[in-house]
Amino acid sequence: MQHMLRKLVLAGIVVIGTSCSDTPNNEIVAPSTGPTLNAAGGSALGSKLVFVSERHSPPADPRVFTFLEIYASNGDGTDPVRLTNNSSQEFFPTWSPNGKEIVFDSNQGFAPANQKTLYIMRDDGTQQRPLTRGSSASWSPNGKQLAFHDAGVLIPADSDIFVIDADGSGRTNLTRSSGVNTDADWSPDGRKILFTSTRAGGINIYVMNADGSDVTQLTLDAVAENAGPDWSPNGKRIVWARRDLALAAPHNRFEIYLMNADGTDLKRLTTNTFLDATPSWSPDGKQIVFHSNRQGGRPQLYVMNADSTDQTAISSGPGRNQWANWGNGHAR
């Protein structure tokens, strides 16, 4: 199954009211709120979250969302600023290393759930431009390339990891293997890329060189899904979400886990009967932001210390808030 579909299952939601056309919409969309996040047009690394929210128009049915938009806020969730304003769905925003741009998924121009286009915009929401077909991108530390996955021509059971230059050139397939290869995340030193794959049974985390060579399996689950791995800022640890597929209602049983970069010393950070997913490191490596439905319905953003203590909600309903990226977790 394709990564975007899996992440929609994570939240237990149904998509309605999306727009579509035969070709991507290249129109630049101005944000609904005018101020940039700082006077220089770039965000101070470590001070801002970027995330997806429906707080502007929450639907009555918590299982449904209509128009997810991208917001930025302080690391504690205060001073949210809306960056996109359109009739499409936006997903998985991620800061560039210098904090001046954001890459994100959009279904502008596509109706199917597993067909998304990567867009790039300025940190104030302006200068939106399509980059390539694909989903869930991760910047290289120098900001010159992005790693992402793409399911190709509507094949939910097959996707690969690609890299592309930030100007849209040089698209290259790194995995070229059968099954699902998703969740790419570039290492802080630029030498490695994490990803998840079904190539050996289960849905496990792998690491490879940035050119696609020397693939190594890090988790060894036969009946589990491991999703959304994220390198710590110093490259020594990996945080991710895991669910046991043998459990009842597995989409609500994701928990946050931590391990060393070589796959050793696995630790469970959250333990409950709720959804805890899509973790992202703070730039200093001391905290982790994630989303959870433990408030009773729509997912909300939470922050905890890297040792799992002080799990604190930084958003609340009625609309959902999820898929956060914290500044640039790879800044050194």
Q: Where are the domains of the chain?
A: 3-23+47-326
* Dihedral (Cα; 240, 245, 249, 253), 10-degree rounding: -20
At position 239, the amino acid (one-letter code) is V
- Do 82 and 33 form a contact (C-beta atoms < 8 A)? yes
CA distance 195 to 86: 31
What tokens appear for 158 in the block? 């097959």
In this prediction, residue 88 carries a pLDDT of 83
Supply the pTM of this predicted model. Answer: 0.84
Residue 251, SS3? Answer: helix
Nearest 5°: the CA angle 282, 100, 137 is 65
Question: CA dist 111 to 21, 88, 115, 293, Å?
Answer: 8, 10, 7, 27
CATH of domain 3-23+47-326: 2.120.10.30
- Structure-token pair, residue 40: 């220089």
Beta-bridge partner residues of 53:
69, 321
CA atoms of 320 and 60, how far apart (whole Å): 11
**CA pair distance 73, 225, nearest whole angstrom:** 30
3-state SS class at 209: strand
Q: Which residues 6+ apart lie within 8 Å of 258 measured at CB?
A: 237, 238, 239, 266, 267, 268, 269, 306
CA separation (Å) from 14 to 64, 108, 225, 240, 277?
5, 18, 21, 24, 18
Closest CA to 84 of 76, 97, 96, 93: 93
CA triple 258-327-145, angle to 5 deg: 90
323 and 91 in contact (C-beta within 8 Å)?
yes
Residue whose C-alpha is closest to residue 256's, from 280, 233, 236: 280
Position 153 scores a pLDDT of 56
Q: How far is CA 225 from CA 202, 228, 274, 277, 295, in A?
A: 6, 10, 16, 12, 24
Q: Which among 47, 74, 196, 220 has a CA at the least distance from the CA of 136? A: 196
For residue 212, the model assigns a pLDDT of: 97
State the residue for tokens 């049983």: 253
Low-confidence ranges of the chain (pLDDT < 50): 1-46, 111, 329-332
Sign of CA dihedral 309, 315, 319, 322: negative
What pLDDT does residue 21 have? 29
Predicted pLDDT of residue 250: 67
